[in-house]
Structures are given as structure tokens and as C-alpha cells.
Structure 1
Amino acid sequence: MMRFATLSLLFLILFHGSPIKAESPIFLDTGNDRSAYAPNSEEDDTLLPEYIVEDAPTENLIYLAFENLPKKLYIGQIFPVTIKVTSLMRRNPYQITLHDGENVELIKEPEEIAPRPIAHLTYYFKALGPVIRIPDFIVSYEDDPWKTYTLPGEKLSAVRLNPPKDFCQVLAHNLELENFQASAFKQKNNILALQLKISYGNFDDFHLNGAIRQGIDSYSGDINDTTLFYYAVFPSDVEQIRFSYFNLESNRYKTFEIPIIVKRSSVSTQSDLDPQESEFTKFKIAATIFFIALWLLLWIKRKRWTYLVLVILASAYLLTYLMPLKKVCIEEESALYLLPTPQSTPFMRLSSPIMGQEMNRKGGYTKVRLPNNTIGWVKNENLCTH
């Protein structure tokens, strides 16, 4: 009986540990840093290796989806991509970044992304190649930018056009030629200014074949309604230009023909681009001369002073058109602009001071005619002070 009790006590000591507390731990010499395995009574959880700690699953707070992806595209076309964003944190603002697109150029993104439960956001891209990959849309809340939600980009195909020789490189839902104006530009050259209205088109690719020099002067509006002011210099023997664009609504090319008829009045303000304006000026001069002659005959015949007064007034009015233009001095290195606007393109720069004729003033600009009949706008600050 005594032997059985002794064996039982030894069994408990071996499997449940000794009731005596050790003063210091005992380590096996394995060559590793022993301090990493030392117990810590204050932070027991630090004894667990990191690789066995698992993150708890988190709930998606943002859901993303594409809407209305285009089914047919052409290279060079501007096309919309709309995404649907469902945010469970309704009042939390979020931000969207784009990443890893192929053969596309971002043209326009939403001006404002307001926090709301469901948002439909439209981005505009330009197709640059036959195989397109829309970028990934990466969304995150502004107060937690490290947690992101990704909508992977989609692949699309674009068709290359087989355009006519006069193609202006523009694909648009609509293009209208609102005004045009031709004028002398240096010697043996004319400059043509166009005012175009383009809807959903790649207006920055506009190009006229055969021009010596050309470019965008300025533009206004947005992608769905752009007003473009364009200039091109042609040899003076070119009497007409022709260009076509591709209409995305009808899937057909539409053509414009523009006669290059040099007018007395040249490129000035946007309203001056009306090709009928100089013709109307000639009509007013002819009509004034007719009435002067008529009233003068009536005064000679009837001797009424009323007719004489009318003759004097009409003659003064006529002198405003026929009197010589005022001379102005333009400083060296001054730029000549197509339009009197800050966004206008300088088309030439003077290499030396020169005298010109003042034709008009608008804002901080003066319209001048140079001795070689070149006409443009110069800043008032570039006029000589002496």
C-alpha cells in the first residue's frame, strides 16, 4: 500500500510539474538569441510569433461596377466610361485614382465627387490604339486612404478609319463651321481664321492639309460643346480649302468647302470673324455716297437748308471710313496676336521697332496694320511711348 502511494506521487510530479517554483528558466543551447523566447509577465501575447496571428475578415464598404461601356470605338475617338460607386459610409468623402491603362488618354474626369450612397461618375477617354485597356479605378475613403477598393479595367477594341485625303483628323458627334475670315499675311501668303463648334470631338487634333503654318488660337467650353478658334496660313494662290470630319452619329464623313477671299477687314475679335462684315461696310459707304449725292441735288433744286444739313452730317460720317488711319509705333520684340484675348496665339514677333496703322482698340490690345499689310493685335504696353 505504501509503495502504491509513492508511485502515485511520482506520477503526479512527472506529468503536472513540480510544486516547487524555479528561480530562473532553463534554456537549451541552440545558438539562437535566447532573449527572444524569454517570458514576459507583463505582455504575455508577445511570446506568440507574428506569423500565427491572423487578421480578422473586414466587410466591404465600397462596391464598384462599370456601366454603359462602349461597344464600338474608332482610334482617335473621345468616349465616355461611367462607373457606379455604392458607398456604405454615406457621409464619408472618398477619392478615386486611375492606374495602369493602355492606349488611352484621360481627357476629362468628374469635377466633383460628392459623398452619397450611390454615385454614377463619368470619365472621358481618348482611344490611342487598336487594343485598349481602361485603367483600374482605385477608391478609398479620405479618412482611411490605406484601405482601397479596386475595379479592374476592361479591355476594348478600336477600329482604324480609312479616311479621305482632306480628313481633318476630328471624330465628333457634330462639327459646325460658324464663321471664317481670310486676310493678307505677309507677302504671298494669306491667313485663314476659323470659328468651329464641336460636340464630343477630339478638337485638339484638328488639322488642315496644305497649310504652311497652323494651330489652335484659343478654345472655350467643355467636351460636349467646344468653341474652337483656329488659324492657318496658305499661299496666296490657294483660292479654296476643303476639309472633312467623321460624324459619329451617322458614321459618315461630312465635308466643308471654304473660299479664301481676302477682305479689307482682317482677323480681329470673335465677332469680327463674320465674313459678311466687310461687305456690309462697303454697302454702308456706297449708300452714304448715294444719299449725299441725292440730298445735294435736292438742295440745289429746292434750296432747303435741311438737305444741306443732311449732306454735311453724311459727309462727316463718310470721313470716319475714308480718313487715314492713325499711325502708331510698335516696340521691338513685340508679339502680334490673332485675337485680343489672353489665350490668343502670337503668330509673329517683331525684330525691330516699326510704325503701323491703328485700326481698332479693345481692352488692353490695339489692332494694327503693318507696312507689309500684316494685320494683328498688339498689347498696348508694347506701343512706343515717344
Structure 2
Amino acid sequence: MAITAPVPDRRARLFPVALGLAALILGLSFTLAVSVGAVPVAPGTVWGVIANRLVPGLVEVTWPAGHEAIVWDLRVPRAILAGLVGAGLALVGAGLQAVTRNALADPHLLGISSGGAFGAITALMHTGLILGLATVPLFAFAGALGAMALVLGVARLADAASAERLVLAGVAVSFIVMAGANVMLFLGDPRAAHTVVFWMLGGLGLAQWSQLAFPALVLAFCGPWLWFRAQDLDAMTIGDETAATLGIPVARFRLEVFVVGALLTGVMVAFSGVIGFVGLMIPHVARMLVGGSQARVLPLSALLGAVFLVWCDLFARTVLAPQDMPIGVVTGLLGGLFFVWLLARR
């Protein structure tokens, strides 16, 4: 299932339109996500609260204090976190699919998400916040990076140079690391186990303003880095030999993309839990819309990933209201169906 090299086609001309529409849909989705809930809030009130918080006194306050607390303290940070996580995971998926030349590569299948979960569980249940608020993100990044190193080690040990075997190595490492995470969970404080289990299934209910800086900063660094290396990613989709003849240090560049992917995934997992299949699905949708050039696929994937996860979170917190369904259940169902469809297309 190798990714074919990008070729010029009419879809390239649709890129500005697709990007604009995706941005518009994201804005509308954000508004809807903040408006809908156990306590409905009018869209005008939503943006009034946001404007008043950003520039005090800009608009006249005509809404109850309870609505302002619901909008600003609960729903806005949750919607922003959903957008950041969706964009980050989609970017990781697009980058990994390019450097592995495999349409099934994503942070979940390559074990990065499992490694991030292992690191985060270690911090939450065993070490405590020894490094302050940065403890969980740093441990999650270390776990994601360690899992990626294990995947590369297993692939080298088994002489699994092909992209398909690299994915199989990732699946194997993912099972092993998740087994280790389950052991850490079993050995931890039983009183915290319920929260961690819900977190392992993915959830955005603990989103706070004080924590949004970490995923935002990592996305602001890693996203542009991947976009600036779009031509190198395009060359990697053709083959290692072709990329090498163009002057790209193939092994080092692939390692750099893995490290960037581990950083993005680890930080996102630290605040959202394990959310699978976003990185698998969204880049394929982007390529179907605007062609295979990574310069177009990456920004569109980020926007589509944000839209997708905002809607998944909205569904997860409303379908069984007042209970909050783990968002990983929603993405897992949709991702499994997409996986089957992708296999059917060969």
C-alpha cells in the first residue's frame, strides 16, 4: 500500500478553496461546540463572552454570569484542545505516511501513542508532578520517543526495511508497550485507576486554560517544520534512492520526522489521552481533495483534523449526556470503518 508520488492535477487548483472552506467549517464547528450542551448558549452570546474576555468592555454584558463561566471556563478550552489535538495527530499521520511510504502509518499503529500513554501513566500514578505542570507532557514525550526507538530497533533487528514490515514492527511494539502501561496501571493507586482508564480511552473533559500553552507551542513549532520540509517529504514518497540522489540524508531525515512525530504525539496524548486513527484517516481525505503534494496536504490535514476532532468531542459529550463518553470510542469506531474501506481499495 505504498503512497504514490504526487503528480500535478486539477486538484492543486482547488487547494485555496479547500483551505478556505476548511477554515470556515472549523470556525462554525467551534461555535457549535461551545454553544451546544446541557445548558444551551446562543452563538451571539458565545462570541460576546469571548470578545469581552479578550477585550474587557468591548461589548455590553447581557448574559448571566453562569453562561460566561460555562463558555469561558469549560467549553472554549475544551474546543480549543480538541482542535489542537486533531491538527497535531493529523500532521503526524501525514508525515509518517510520507517517510514510511505506507498508507496505513499513523502514530497509533506505530506505537507512538502507546509510548506516550506509558509515560503519562508513569507520571500520573507513580512519580507525581515532580517537574510541575510540565511533568506529564515531558514523560509522555519520553515514552513516545522511547516507543519509536523500540520500533526502529525491532525493524533493524528483524531486517524489516520495507514500509509494510515497519508498520508490523510498530503494531508489535504498541502491544508490548500497552502491556507495560497496563502493568503500571495495575501497580498504581486504585483510587486513581478509574480516571486513568478513562484517560487511556481518550477524553478532553479536563481541558484547562493553564494547560493549552503546551500543545499550542509544540504544534506551532512542529507544524511549520514539517511544512518547510514538504519537498523532502515529497521526495521520500518516491523512494529512498531518489531522495538520496536529490541530496536528502534519508536515514537522518526519517529519524527527524520520527522525533518530531513523537514530540507532537507525546504532548497531545498527555492532555487528551490515547486517541487513535485521526492520523490515519485525515491525510487520506486531504490527498483525495488536493492531490499528493505535502505542501498542500499538511496544512489541509491540520484543519481537517481539527474539524474532525471537534465534532467527535461534541458527539462524545452529548450522545449520552450528562455522561461523557470517551472520545477514543468515537474515533475508534470511525477509524475502524475507514481502515476497512482503505483495505478494500487496496
The structure whose Rg is larger is 1
* TM-score, length of structure 1 as denominator length: 0.20
User: Which structure has greater strand proportion?
Assistant: 1
* TM-score, length of structure 2 as denominator length: 0.22
Q: Which has the higher contact order (CA 8 A, sep 6+)?
A: 2
User: Which structure has greater helix proportion?
Assistant: 2
